[in-house]
Amino acid sequence: MSKEAYKHMEEKMKKTIHALKENLAGIRAGRANPAILDKVAVDYYGVPTPINQLGNISVPEARIILIQPWDAKLLKEIEKAIQKSDIGINPSNDGKVIRLVFPPLTEERRKELTKVVKKDGEEAKVAIRSIRRDAVEDVKVQKKNGEITEDDLKDIEKEIQNITDKYIAEIDKIVEAKDKEIMEV
């Protein structure tokens, strides 16, 4: 297997890790995290625009996000977009800024969120294993075509497995860190 093929396989695995991190960033863990607003778009002159491109987003306290739009006319639109989204927070608008106050999570809700995190982690592992399977199949085709020997096949499969194990371990660390963050009171 060429270095290019290894690179290609690792790139796919890195994209899977990146997608997992993005998914988990959107899960609210008791404290205010501006990443929760990444998926919320505001209708700005007919174009869906992310909130972070329309104003300043800050976290003055652990459970509060402040959104200060550069154009005060956008306050109502931002408020509507947040209410329509599935983040489950009711915005309060004082005419200058929008405040999102995050209530503390109940124990039951924390446990539900950890299940969601574990499910996302498992889906990422499945994607990594699928990438591994495709790479191994490519190598077996090379063996069948006589491009590589049986020993080469075994060495390459071992290397593919080592790379896979590295990314699976990284997923485990990410999921564990998110679980710890969610269960933290």
Q: Does domain 3-25+106-183 have CATH number 1.10.132.20?
A: yes
Q: Round the average pLDDT of the chain to a whole number and report it.
A: 85
Listed in order, the ranges of the chain carrying CATH 1.10.132.20 are 3-25+106-183
Q: Under CATH, what is the fold of the domain 34-101?
A: Gyrase A; domain 2 (3.30.1360)
pTM (predicted TM-score): 0.71
Give the mean pLDDT of 79-107. 82
Task: Give, as one character, the DSSP assignment of residue 94.
Answer: -
Q: Give the integer Cα–Cα distance in Å for 26 and 127.
A: 20
Listed in order, the ranges of the chain carrying CATH 3.30.1360.40 are 34-101
Give the three-state DSSP class for 49.
strand
Cβ-based neighbours of 184, under 8 Å, separated by 6 or more: 29, 30
Give the mean pLDDT of 113-142. 91
pLDDT band at 121 (very low <50, low <70, confident <90, very high): very high
pLDDT at position 134, please? 92
Q: Give the integer Cα–Cα distance in Å for 90 and 93.
A: 10
Give the mean pLDDT of 42-54. 84
Place of tokens 């490519």: 138
pLDDT at position 124, please? 93
CB burial of 124-146 (b: ≥16 within 10 Å; e: otherwise) equals bbebbeebbeebbeebeebbeee
Cβ-based neighbours of 23, under 8 Å, separated by 6 or more: 120
Q: Give the integer Cα–Cα distance in Å for 27 and 46.
A: 28
pLDDT digits (tens, 9 = 90+) for 79-89: 888 888 777 77
19-28, 127-136, 137-146: least confident range: 19-28
pLDDT band at 185 (very low <50, low <70, confident <90, very high): low
Question: Which of the residue ranges 1-15, 98-112, 144-158 has the most confident prediction, judged by mean pLDDT?
Answer: 144-158
